[in-house]
Structure 1
Amino acid sequence: MSRTFRLASLLRLRSAAEERAAVELADAARLRARAEARRHDTEVQLGSAAMPAHSDELHFRAAVAARVSLSGLLAERTVEVRVADDGVDQAHAVWASAKARARALEKLEEKHDAEVRAEDERAEQLVLDEVAGQAARRAALRAGTPEVTR
């Protein structure tokens, strides 16, 4: 068995792709938060745009026009939030896919590492068995008893 994981370079590429996808997801989430903040601010402006209590027709028409304008802007901001939500959903799907591809290779690497460790432990046990056997033979020779066989 090879001591190095043969797919290590592919794992590095997939891990890098996962990191890029995570950054894009974070960017999409920030854009969505900004869009939601703009929508909320517009909603607050619309809610605070009161009609004049005592005014002439010109002021009344101006107040109505301002409220209509803010209503239209609120509709646009709501659409921006929906578009940003779609962007977050898409970025999340890309990230989840990249994470799954990287995780599959990580599992293979973990299996490879476990096999290498098991191979090392078997080799170490063989060495320990050999050392113990040699020590037993030397002790038997010194004691004048027949050699201990395995």
Structure 2
Amino acid sequence: MNRLFRLGPVLRARKAQEDAAKGEVVQSRQEIRDARALVKRRQLDLAGADAPTEGTARAMVASMVARQSMAATLSGAHRMVADAEELARQKQAVLTDAAKRRRAVESMAERHAEAVRAHDLRTEQLAVDEMAVTAKARNAARGIDAVSEERASTLRHGNGSAADREDVARETANSVAAQRPAVNLADTRRAIDVTRATLSLAAKRDGEPAERTGEGHADDRSRA
């Protein structure tokens, strides 16, 4: 299995695009704040320029023209705020789209990482199972079960306290004794008696030909 995520460069590019979109959103929000601050200044300027109530006609006309100019400037500031807010919404939409595209590739990277972890776990489990099967087969060939092997390991390596080793030794001895066939003393006694009787009978049979031979020689001497 390929452990390297092939779309890694794409993911880095998507993150860079998202970071750039975040920067533009921050800048657009700053432009909104600047436009709103300009509106406040223009409003104060317009409020401070009161219409003249006395003076020459020329002065009154000039004052009215100035107020109209301030009002136009204030209106322009409001349009700047509206434009900045619209631009901020567009930048936010771009950022949202960039985040979605980055998240799509990132989800693929997470699934790939999860697949790699699952593959590693399966590989480790197979290795552990193979080791267990090999150890079991080796112990079976040696005629040692798992319990006996564990007890023997404790006795060989001295694991645990002295009391633990003594308990293990006692359990091992009891286990070995339990595995030995039971001996019936009565059957053994009968077997010994039968063996003795058989040997005695065989000895008697071996002695009969010799006696018969001796009797034959005695008869021959008497006839002579």
When the two structures are superposed, what TM-score results if normalisation uses the length of structure 2? 0.58
1:45-64 map, 5 Å: 45-52=45-52, 55-57=54-56, 58-64=58-64
Q: In the alignment, residue 119 of structure 1 is paired with which amino acid? A: H
CA RMSD, Structure 1 to Structure 2 (Å): 2.2
Judged with a 3 Å threshold, the aligned counterparts in structure 2 of structure 1 residues 113 and 144 are, in CA distance, closer, same or farther, namely: closer
Q: Paired residue for 2:108?
A: 108
Q: 1: distance between equivalents of 2:43 and 2:139?
A: 92
Q: Paired residue for 2:180?
A: none
Q: Paired residue for 1:26?
A: 26
1:59 positional shift: 4.7
- SS state of the match for residue 77, structure 2? helix
Offset from partner CA, 1:25-55 (integer Å, 9 cap, x none): 1111111211111112111222233345x64
Q: 2: distance between equivalents of 1:144 and 1:71?
A: 103
Q: 2: distance between equivalents of 1:24 and 1:138?
A: 69
Contiguous gaps of at least 5 residues in structure 1: 146-150
1:6 positional shift: 0.9
Q: Paired residue for 2:74?
A: 74
- SS state of the match for residue 3, structure 2? coil
1:143 positional shift: 5.0
Q: 1: distance between equivalents of 2:60 and 2:137?
A: 111
Judged with a 3 Å threshold, the aligned counterparts in structure 2 of structure 1 residues 144 and 89 are, in CA distance, closer, same or farther, namely: closer
1:133 positional shift: 2.8
Q: 1: distance between equivalents of 2:73 and 2:5?
A: 56
Judged with a 3 Å threshold, the aligned counterparts in structure 2 of structure 1 residues 126 and 63 are, in CA distance, closer, same or farther, namely: same
Offset from partner CA, 1:67-109 (integer Å, 9 cap, x none): 2111010011111111111211111111111111111000111
Whose radius of gyration is greater, 1 or 2?
A: 2
1:137 positional shift: 3.8
- SS state of the match for residue 117, structure 1? helix
Judged with a 3 Å threshold, the aligned counterparts in structure 2 of structure 1 residues 130 and 62 are, in CA distance, closer, same or farther, namely: same
Q: 1: distance between equivalents of 2:141 and 2:33?
A: 82
Q: Paired residue for 2:83?
A: 83
Q: Paired residue for 1:126?
A: 126
1:61 positional shift: 3.6
Q: 2: distance between equivalents of 1:79 and 1:129?
A: 74
Q: 1: distance between equivalents of 2:31 and 2:38?
A: 11
Contiguous gaps of at least 5 residues in structure 2: 146-224
When the two structures are superposed, what TM-score results if normalisation uses the length of structure 1? 0.83
| 1:5 aligned onto 2:5 | yes
Aligned residues: 145
- SS state of the match for residue 14, structure 1? helix
Q: In the alignment, residue 45 of structure 2 is paired with which amino acid? A: Q
Q: In the alignment, residue 33 of structure 1 is paired with which amino acid? A: R
Judged with a 3 Å threshold, the aligned counterparts in structure 2 of structure 1 residues 104 and 144 are, in CA distance, closer, same or farther, namely: closer
